[in-house]
Amino acid sequence: MTTDDTLAELLLRWEELHEQGRDVPAEELCRDCPQLAAALADRIRALRVTAWMDGPDDDGGTPPDPPDPNPPSTLAGRYRLDEKVAEGGFAEVWKGFDLELRRAVAVKMPKPGRLHSTERFLAEARRVARLKHPGVVPVFDVGQERESCFIVSEFVEGGSLADRIATNRPMANDAARMVAEVAETLAYAHRQGFVHRDIKPGNILLDHHGRALLTDFGIAHSPDEGTDGGSFGTLAYMSAEQVEGKPVDHRTDIYGLGVVLHELLTGYLPYKADDPVQLRRLIVAGGVASIPGVSKEGEGVCRKCLSRNPADRYQDAAELAQELRRTAFTLRPARISQRLLALVVVAFIGLIGFFAVRPVLDRNQSPVAEAKATPPNEKRAVEWVYSVGGTVNDTKRIDQLAEPWAVRSVYLHRDRCDGKVTDAGLAQLEGLPDLDTLNLGGAKIDGSGVAHLRDSKKLKWLSLECTQVDDAGVVNLAGYSELAYLNLLSTPVTDAAVDVLAKLSRLEMVVVSGTKMTEAGVEKLRKALPSCRVVMDVKAGLKALSELGELHFGKQEWDKAAAVFTEAINLDPQCAEAYHRRAGCSYNTGKLKESLPDFDTAARLDPKNPEVYKNRAFVYLRLLRVDEGLADLTHAQELDPAHPERYRQPMSLALAQRGVVKAQANKVDEAIADFGEALRLDPNNAELFDKRGSLHFNRKHFNEAVADFTEAVRLDPKTPSYRLHLEMSRNPPNPK
């Protein structure tokens, strides 16, 4: 028997005695092998920690202090605590508001009695704050308040992956993409010497684009910082070496990602038991059951991550990320009748009143590629520029969009460019005479770079929110006589800027919330521009932005509408309707998958709004995610029982779409039943009768086929194919 086998048996013996109420020291259990006492003691300590994290304290130690009955409402005179959004065994997380920078933040505070070393906690937080990667939720600040500490980080509006799994588990390939994003982030953290050790869905956040971000490095350690006590984490996501208290390294994080991937693919954990002791035994024993509904290659990736032996796992998170991105996880479905599928999809497009669909570019094709593909004699505008070429600072490639293709709208907001656009970078925007929309929110600019826009005299929409543009920077706006919308939210602008702004006679709206402008300055500006809405508070700003967004939406200016709704979200991350409308903009530009995170957030913030579920159902059905679409339509109808007529036709076509999928899977009886339900909701649909008749005909149920084709002809006598199908069913080639 190996040393590991002996330790495993001794640990099981200790667990059994512990369950009986006997706390036997390691030395007593190791009387026959005293050389193993220290190693066994380490593993017992590991079990005590995981038991504490998964249930009430049972280690005989001092119980935690009770919750503070009067938690501070503001920390450090700066961070207002608005709402507790998460709570664990060690800490709680609040949604807060930074009163200085006027932005939403997340504030994490250890629970009373859980923090053993303030100095170590703060040192660790500062070390984590040095991590700079698009996939790491950035830490803004750390500090002390009363007897505790706090960490301030970016508030990620999309919620956690745990929330997503609970409400709307992503499809297999989307799940793989999310895990790949986290793996790329871990590859960076591992290179910096970090091992996270608590990879789980609750520590993976999703921004409003659905991008996965990693948070809660609070228990992360360098490999040389005593990782032999490697048990910290959440038991269900721990590797065997963590559970046993053995040394851990970056491959422990890869195991945790494997557990997350398994949960995303299946909806359940690879090992599950109500009893923590039993769960630890399952993890240590290893061995994962087959993973249904996933390609063989995808299952192989997941199994390799979950290998019992760290040497059998991926040895590098970057390697895992590459494997995830090149592996198809979804099983290839059987071929669907294209004519029938076209019927259903076209019918859905015709139904949608909230949305209006138009042709769009392939979302994987960059605006640069589109511009170069346009013949020079067709002076065609590139309507919208996000991160050109996927770079961090896309201004460095704007020059590739020179005439004859006029750039009209440029979006360099921090959520696309990581806030790295500078005043110097704006030099690339010179020579864009047709530019009318520019979003620089969160960019590292003070306004001097605005001078580079001297050729863009048609500029009508400009956002400078959360930049360092001050009064001197505003001076550079003089001469932009066409400017209609200006956002100066949370900039250091003062009353000194009023004289410059007053000369922008066509301004229809200017946002000055969170600036240093006084009431007197605002009143002066209102008098100078009586037709301009000067917005100084959040509520008024939201109302004004909503009206502006609806104006663009009504004109089918989807990109501009999306930019306005993004402004509304920045102003109030809890504005459900802004997410809902921005999702509609994504839908209308053909970005179906991209619209889902916004729909998900809208549903979470406003769970009683039937329109959100109905419109998200249309997206699911266009993506052939029929069951999810039906579930949303059913829920919308439950929320809106007074208007059943709104849901009959979409429900009917959704059932028909499911019938198509089942027919192609040779589940013909179920397909016929679905068409029957569809016809019950829409009994005057000749096409549905014809399609159900075809299913009966293929099964040689000719009497039923005749009845359906007869009804199709009665409802639509002008369609020749219905008459042809009826004649064929009356005179079948092989009636037996």
Structural tokens at position 380: 């065609």
3-state secondary structure of 92: strand
From CA 157, how far away is CA 163, in angstroms rounded? 12
- CA distances to 77, 395, 443, 469 from 413, rounded to whole Å, are 29, 12, 7, 15
Beta-carbon contacts of 274 under 8 Å, excluding residues fewer than 6 positions away, are: none
Question: In this structure, which amino acid lies at residue 349?
Answer: I
Look at residues 520, 553, 211 and name the one whose alpha carbon lies nearest to residue 387.
211
Q: How many CA atoms lie within 13 A of 200 on its CB side?
A: 17
CA torsion, points 315, 319, 325, 327, in degrees to nearest 10? -60
**Dihedral sign (CA 550, 556, 562, 563):** negative
**Dihedral sign (CA 527, 532, 534, 538):** positive
3-state secondary structure of 83: strand
For 82, list phi and psi in degrees, rounded to 5.
-100, -40
Phi-psi region of 438 (alpha: psi -120 to 50; beta: other; left: phi over 0): beta
- CA distances to 372, 382, 476, 646 from 359, rounded to whole Å, are 19, 14, 38, 27
Tell me if 671 sits within 8 A of 686, measured CB to CB.
Answer: no
User: How far is the first Cα of the chain from the last one, in angstroms, to the nearest whole number?
Assistant: 70
Tell me if 572 sits within 8 A of 538, measured CB to CB.
Answer: yes
CA 690 to chain centre: 41
Looking up tokens 């048996």, which residue turns up? 9
Beta-carbon contacts of 123 under 8 Å, excluding residues fewer than 6 positions away, are: none
Q: DSSP of 598-655, one letter per residue?
A: HHHHHHHH-TT-HHHHHHHHHHHHHTT-HHHHHHHHHHHHHH-TT-THHHHHHHHHHH
Look at residues 673, 715, 720 and name the one whose alpha carbon lies nearest to residue 692.
673
Residue 596: enclosing H or E segment and its boundaries? helix 592-605
Query: What b/e string do you get for 486-495 counting C-beta neighbours within 10 Å, with b at 16 or more?
Result: bbbbbbbbeb
Structural tokens at position 241: 């070496």
Looking up tokens 């509904």, which residue turns up? 293
Beta-carbon contacts of 139 under 8 Å, excluding residues fewer than 6 positions away, are: 125, 128, 129, 131, 151, 152, 153
Residue 438: enclosing H or E segment and its boundaries? strand 437-439
Question: In this structure, which amino acid lies at residue 702?
Answer: F
Is 446 annotated in the active site? no
From CA 650, how far away is CA 355, in angstroms rounded? 14
42, 98, 163, 198: the catalytic one is 198
Q: Tell me, what DSSP letter sits at residue 156?
A: -
Q: How many CA atoms lie within 13 A of 182 on its CB side?
A: 33
Beta strands in 275-380 (DSSP E): none
From CA 650, how far away is CA 364, in angstroms rounded? 30
Tell me if 432 sits within 8 A of 456, measured CB to CB.
Answer: yes
From CA 138, how far away is CA 462, in angstroms rounded? 26
For 239, list phi and psi in degrees, rounded to 5.
-80, 165
7: exposed, middle or buried (Cβ count in 10 Å: 0-12, 13-18, 19+):
buried
Question: In this structure, which amino acid lies at residue 191?
Answer: R
Catalytic positions are 198
